[in-house]
């Protein structure tokens, strides 16, 4: 078993701005240590104006197998790679970049698959249920697509950018519809925050008025581990899914995409 990581380690980046709140590097590096795999994920804070230059350098980094991408770069990343998988093309955003031996880059999107995998792993039923999703950016669009594919009965899309929400609803079909932020959530089984609201530890995307105790509130924000949005859901007796659950559920998917597992 190698001492990990060595100078021969396979490398992947985790890029975003900011980056300190992300959960995936610790999870991937713990897997590498425990499995004896000579690989490392390095978190890098890349400002938007530096993103294109960073990706150009990544192409020439021979020991790098790619990068995981977080806000605010997911949509911009879709325009910097050579090709997109169907999942990334559908939502117009890439949260994983896979680098091949020639430096060619493929953009994929695993946010939605990870979010739904965490839900189903916890035994949460999705078929026929009614959900409201706040935020139709890169993560939100991917989650929306995965929820619709899981057999959701109705998905309300809430975003201040009405055109963005409309385009996503049109892409997903009749199950998805554009909506305003509801005054009451009594008619929703799932309430999901796919925005950065809550990262400050103070703000919340919705006061959760009317949230039922048998509902679930999910968040994509990973720091604080339990956001004000989720704390309020707990006070109302509802189940919660923190952002770290989505991140950790993506690790097996990401490891396979990088070629680190079969």
Q: Is the pLDDT of residue 2 over 70?
A: no
Written as one string, the DSSP assignment of 152-179 is -SEEEEE-S-HHHHHHHHHHH-TTEEE-
**Domain 10-109 falls in which CATH fold?**
Rossmann fold (3.40.50)
How large is the average pLDDT for residues 87-108?
A: 95
CATH number of 112-243: 3.40.50.720
Provide the 3-class DSSP secondary structure of residue 218: strand
Q: What is the pLDDT of residue 70?
A: 93
Please compute the mean of the pLDDT values over residues 111-115 and round it to a whole number. Answer: 96
Boundaries of CATH 3.40.50.720 in the chain? 112-243
**What gap in Å lies between CA 44 and CA 25, rounded to an integer?**
10
Residue 56 belongs to what H/E stretch?
A: helix 51-59
Q: In the prediction, which pLDDT does 4 show?
A: 75
Only one residue has tokens 């990401």, namely 254
Q: Boundaries of CATH 3.40.50.10860 in the chain?
A: 10-109
Q: Which of 10, 21, 73, 74 is catalytic?
A: 74
pLDDT digits (tens, 9 = 90+) for 4-42: 799 999 999 999 999 998 989 999 999 999 999 999 999
State the average pLDDT over residues 43-61. 98
Is the Cβ–Cβ distance between 18 and 73 less than 8 Å? Answer: no
0.75 exceeded by pTM: yes
- Per the CB < 8 A criterion, the answer to whether 148 and 208 are in contact is no
pLDDT at 47: 98
The two tokens of residue 101 are 């031996």
Residues comprising the chain, all counted = 262
Neighbours of 235 (CB within 10 A): 10
Nearest to 109 by CA among 261, 241, 259, 253: 253
- SS3 label, residue 194: coil
Q: Is 223 a catalytic residue?
A: no
pLDDT tens digits, residue range 143-171? 999 999 999 999 999 999 999 999 999 99
Mean of all residue pLDDT scores within the chain:
96
């Amino acid at each position: 078993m190698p001492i990990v990581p060595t100078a021969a380690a396979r490398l992947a980046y985790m890029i975003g701005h900011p980056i300190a709140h992300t959960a995936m590097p610790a999870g991937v590096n713990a897997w590498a240590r425990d499995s004896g795999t000579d690989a490392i994920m390095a978190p890098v804070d890349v400002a938007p104006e530096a993103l294109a230059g960073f990706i150009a350098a990544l192409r020439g980094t021979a020991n790098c197998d790619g990068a995981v991408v977080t806000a605010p770069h997911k949509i911009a990343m879709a325009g910097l790679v050579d090709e997109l998988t169907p999942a990334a093309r559908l939502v117009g955003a890439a949260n994983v970049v896979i680098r091949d031996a020639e430096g060619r880059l493929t953009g994929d999107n695993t946010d939605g698959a990870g979010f739904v995998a965490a839900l189903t792993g916890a035994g949460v039923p999705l078929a026929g249920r009614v959900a409201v999703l706040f935020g139709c950016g890169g993560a939100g669009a991917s989650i929306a697509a995965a929820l619709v594919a899981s057999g959701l009965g109705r998905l309300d899309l809430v975003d201040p950018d009405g055109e963005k929400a409309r385009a996503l609803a049109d892409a997903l079909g009749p199950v998805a519809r554009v909506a305003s932020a509801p005054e009451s959530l009594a008619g929703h089984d799932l309430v999901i925050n796919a925005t950065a609201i809550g990262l400050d530890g103070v703000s919340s995307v919705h006061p959760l008025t009317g949230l039922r105790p048998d509902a679930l509130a999910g968040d994509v924000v990973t720091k604080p581990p339990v956001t004000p949005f989720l704390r309020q859901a707990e006070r109302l007796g509802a189940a919660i899914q923190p952002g770290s659950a989505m991140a950790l559920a993506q690790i097996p998917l990401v490891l396979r995409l990088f070629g680190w597992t079969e």
